[in-house]
Amino acid sequence: MANIIDGKAVSAQVKEGIRQEVEKLKAKGIEIGLAVVIVGDDPASQVYVRNKEKACEAVGFNSYKYALPAETTEEELLALVDKLNNDDKVDGILVQLPLPKHLDDKMIINNIRPDKDVDAFHPVNVGKIMIGDYSFLPCTPAGVMELIKSTGTEVAGKECVVIGRSNIVGKPQAMLLLHENGTVTITHSKTKDLKEVCSRADILVAAVGRAKMVTADYIKEGAVVIDVGMNRDEEGKLCGDVDFEDCKEKAGYITPVPGGVGPMTIAMLMKNTLTAGLIHNS
């Protein structure tokens, strides 16, 4: 029976460390601020933004929310980003994705100042991650690394397989495992013998967006299995990319959905915002 990796507990530890750091900064008169911009009324985005506000409150950051109507123009959004870039009270800027269809995600992200890009999506930050000289890490892959660390598993020398090649999770995840000296394979829809490749992994990260795709025959006995997926099953219940019930007997460690990677993403956003604040006040 696998050990369940409790993302809520690990994220609470990370946030507590940040809260203590923020108290020390406040004693020196330094305040940290995160600006979150949401355009339109996508229900999932609204939930994420609320959770980010709660997390800011928990660690002691100032939180600035900008809720814009769905018909906001690119010029208006860029003007707001420019204003936040030049606002010394704001250490981190997060524009909640996806944006309405008429807005260009890439253009907006490219206009956020790299030292305030706490999502680590700006090409400058992506490039820094590639060469291993970074200030910020993308929140979900960084959260995955914390969860792996919490199991006591050494990444160095391990066979690591990432299912999925998105710019937000798959590619940066592979880089972070590589920086820790893992031997990394990125798999995707065109991979031959996917099951066979995955079953060699000591550490398997599933980030493909297909409900319960990964079954026990994808998994090596005793592997660390991290499920980044957030899907709905046929009954409408939240589930991951990994068939948890099928895999929990075979894995050594496994994350549940919900309660695994999700809480870590927001904890790492808080960590990036603290890093930004320290850079701006150094």
Q: Read off the tokens for 90.
A: 């704001």
User: Which of 15, 91, 96, 243 is labelled catalytic?
Assistant: 96
Respond yes or no: is residue 115 known to be catalytic.
no
Respond yes or no: is residue 96 known to be catalytic.
yes
User: Which of 15, 52, 158, 220 is labelled catalytic?
Assistant: 52
Respond yes or no: is residue 119 known to be catalytic.
yes
Read off the pTM. 0.95
User: Which of 119, 202, 227, 241 is labelled catalytic?
Assistant: 119
Q: Model confidence over 246-270: pLDDT tens digits?
A: 999 999 999 999 999 999 999 999 9
Task: Write down all domains in the chain, each with its CATH number in brackets.
Answer: 30-113 (3.40.50.10860), 139-262 (3.40.50.720)
Q: Model confidence over 115-174: pLDDT tens digits?
A: 999 999 999 999 999 999 999 999 999 999 999 999 999 999 999 999 999 999 999 999
